Amino acid sequence: MLSVKIELLEVLRQALENLSPGAGAKAAFESPKVAAHGDLATTAAMQLAKPLKLNPRQLAETLRDALLATPAYQAWVEAIDIAGPGFINIKLKPEAKQQIVREVLTQTTQFGSQPALDKKMLVEFVSANPTGPLHVGHGRQAALGDAICNLFQTQGWSVYREFYYNDAGVQIATLATSTQLRAQGFKPGDSEWPSGENANAYNGEYIADIAQDFMAKKTVSADDREFTASGDIDALDHIRQFAVAYLRHEQDLDLKAFEVQFDNYYLESSLYTSGKVADTVQKLQDAGKTYEQDGALWLKSTDYGDDKDRVMRKGDGSFTYFVPDVAYHITKWERGFEKVINIQGTDHHGTIARVRAGLQAANVGIPQGYPDYVLHTMVRVVKGGEEVKISKRAGSYVTLRDLIEWTSKDAVRFFLLSRKPDTEYTFDVDLAITKNNDNPVYYVQYAHARICSVLAAWREKDGGNAATLAQADLSPLTSPQAQGLMLLLAKYPDMLTAAASGFAPHDVTFYLRELAACYHSYYDAERILVDDVLVKKARLALVAATAQVLQNGLAVLGVSAPQKM
């Protein structure tokens, strides 16, 4: 059907061009608001009526007559109706809708994907400080980032996944001193342990584990480093290096359990050691976008829409956190990434204006609005009907691995992607492990497994070969349920394009649930393994195409498509 739609759209474009030069650009199809009105609709006549000084309904009738006179519309269109002031509703012939089955079975895993573009993009996500294991908020970010990468890959982009490690600053110093205190035998609650609302200490039991392994002189390996502990309780820098490597390793395990892989881990510390932070500050000063006041260096960020100017360098000579962020994003641009997306928590909202201001002020050719941001809220976890409190400093937060062990990688990914990123989400552990239609990931996966079971039964009984289904005669697929399923399959590519454009992987979860429901309705309405060979193969082809699209959509989310459940 996609090829049919493209053919019909081109004829519409030419017809509009014949009516008025340049009007062909208005050629577009949309889905009618009421399914009974047709399969495709266009408002082109209403858009053209005013500039052409014509009655929109009369113009629509003229356009309808022109379209029905063409071979393409005669071949694929059953009827064209005019509604209201000039809506044009197009009803396709069954054979037009049937083409989608052949297209899916021919393109298989590539169905829905666009040709490769000569464009590079970078998605930065997770980017957790190496001060503790990944919590469920990081899990939401990991699911979002990976799915957004997959979405853009379907649109032809060359996508690069990057994890930015904040391995410099106060938090790392706090990690080192907390580990040292544990190694000295102190624990939270002792008089020697920092206390109070703003105390610089990490209270989690994982700090005691790090200290114990440091004193045991163990060796830890992470993605980019290996470090052997000296066991010297007074060597704070050794403790710091060991603790960072230890937690880097722990986070590697979290990501492995979630099946998320990165192309690169970029260290914040490298921005200082390479001189990139200093170079960035110099660029801003050379551009005349800074000034000294109260012993601090300020950026004129209000020149770029920020609500106030921002301190870059404090009186003690240290930089505020957005300065290395600006330097980091300049490196992204210099590495050839014309599009950059940052997945971050909503607490980073204030960062957007100052980072973009710094990039514009640096005057290095970066376009306005660079980078894009996707902000997400945190996640509440409910288990046994009660909320599991998340408090990183108290050490009682739910880790990503906890959630995976309680449920599954597939459930965690699907659930965390099932809402818009900026909406609050409650993860119900009990729902995630149920095996019924109330569990959305089970519902979608069961539809796929159900189809695989039907295909397996056909192969076992008839010796059928699924590869032959792409050549099946599809003419028996005329029932309302079959046609509804085919129309939904045909929406998959446009859904992917819209989801990528809107950074909206939740659209994929909605689509998959709708497709699963549509399949279950079809299965209940029509028996597939009938005696009539022609009808049987047509129906098998339809459900095989449905299974393929379910598999493709689940792959975008990083969720498996099981053949048995």
Q: In whole angstroms, give the CA distance from residue 230 to residue 328.
A: 33
Q: Is the pLDDT of residue 529 over 70?
A: yes
Structure tokens at 241: 């290096």
**Is 563 a domain residue?**
no
**Is 270 a domain residue?**
no
Residue 519: predicted pLDDT: 98
Both 177 and 88 in one domain: the answer is: no
**Is 380 a domain residue?**
no
**Is 222 a domain residue?**
yes
DSSP state of 116: P
Residue 127: predicted pLDDT: 92
Domain interval for residue 214: 170-257
Q: CA dihedral defined by 543, 545, 549, 552, rounded to 10 degrees? A: 120
- Chosen domain end from 227, 257, 287: 257
Residue 391: predicted pLDDT: 43
Q: What is the CATH number of the domain that holds 24?
A: 3.30.1360.70
**Is 497 a domain residue?**
yes
**Is 52 a domain residue?**
yes
Q: In whole angstroms, give the CA distance from residue 214 to residue 330.
A: 37
| Adjacency order of strands within the sheet including 264-267 | 264-267, 158-165, 120-124, 339-345, 372-376
Pairing of strands 296-299, 290-293: antiparallel
Q: In whole angstroms, give the CA distance from residue 564 to residue 87.
A: 46
**3-state secondary structure at position 26:** helix
Residue 321: predicted pLDDT: 86
| Spatial CA neighbour of 425 closest among 433, 414, 416 | 416
**Is 479 a domain residue?**
yes
- Chosen domain end from 66, 92, 118: 92
| Spatial CA neighbour of 300 closest among 213, 363, 217 | 363
* Percent of all residues in the chain with a pLDDT value above 90, rounded to a whole number: 82
Q: In whole angstroms, give the CA distance from residue 422 to residue 144.
A: 11
Band (pLDDT 50/70/90 cuts) for residue 130 is confident
Residue 170: predicted pLDDT: 82
The residues with which 270 forms a beta bridge, in sequence order, are: none
Predicted structure pTM score = 0.91
Q: What is the CATH number of the domain that holds 513?
A: 1.10.730.10
Residue 533: Cβ within 10 Å count: 11
Both 182 and 84 in one domain: the answer is: no
Both 198 and 86 in one domain: the answer is: no
* Residues 6+ positions from 318 with CB-CB distance below 8 Å: none
Q: Is the pLDDT of residue 205 over 70?
A: yes
Residue 388: predicted pLDDT: 85
Both 547 and 442 in one domain: the answer is: yes
Q: In whole angstroms, give the CA distance from residue 53 to residue 196.
A: 74
Instruction: For residue range 145-197, list pLDDT tens digits in order.
Output: 999 999 999 999 999 999 998 887 788 999 999 999 999 999 998 999 998 77
Which residues in 286-315 are b (16+ Cβ under 10 Å) and which e?
eeebbeeeeeebbbbbeebebeebbbbbee
Residue 132 one-letter amino acid: G
Q: How confident is the model over 397-407, as a mean pLDDT?
A: 89
Share of the chain residues as helix, strand and coil, in percent rounded to the nearest 5: 55, 15, 35
The residues with which 91 forms a beta bridge, in sequence order, are: 79
Domain count along the chain: 3
- Chosen domain end from 92, 109, 130: 92
Band (pLDDT 50/70/90 cuts) for residue 1 is low
| Lowest-pLDDT choice from 51-55, 79-83, 142-146, 272-276 | 51-55
Both 549 and 450 in one domain: the answer is: yes
Q: Is the pLDDT of residue 393 over 60?
A: no
Cβ–Cβ < 8 Å for 416, 369? no
Instruction: For residue range 230-286, list pLDDT tens digits in order.
Output: 999 999 999 999 999 999 999 999 999 999 999 999 999 899 999 999 999 999 999
Cβ–Cβ < 8 Å for 276, 358? no
Structure tokens at 546: 């449905």
Q: Is the pLDDT of residue 208 over 60?
A: yes
**Is 124 a domain residue?**
no
Structure tokens at 498: 């819209």
Residue 258: Cβ within 10 Å count: 23
Report which of residues 520 and 463 the model is more confident about.
520
Residue 47 one-letter amino acid: Q
Q: Is the pLDDT of residue 555 over 90?
A: yes
| Spatial CA neighbour of 27 closest among 12, 45, 5 | 12
Residue 36: predicted pLDDT: 81
| Spatial CA neighbour of 416 closest among 407, 133, 498 | 407
| Lowest-pLDDT choice from 193-202, 289-298, 454-463 | 193-202
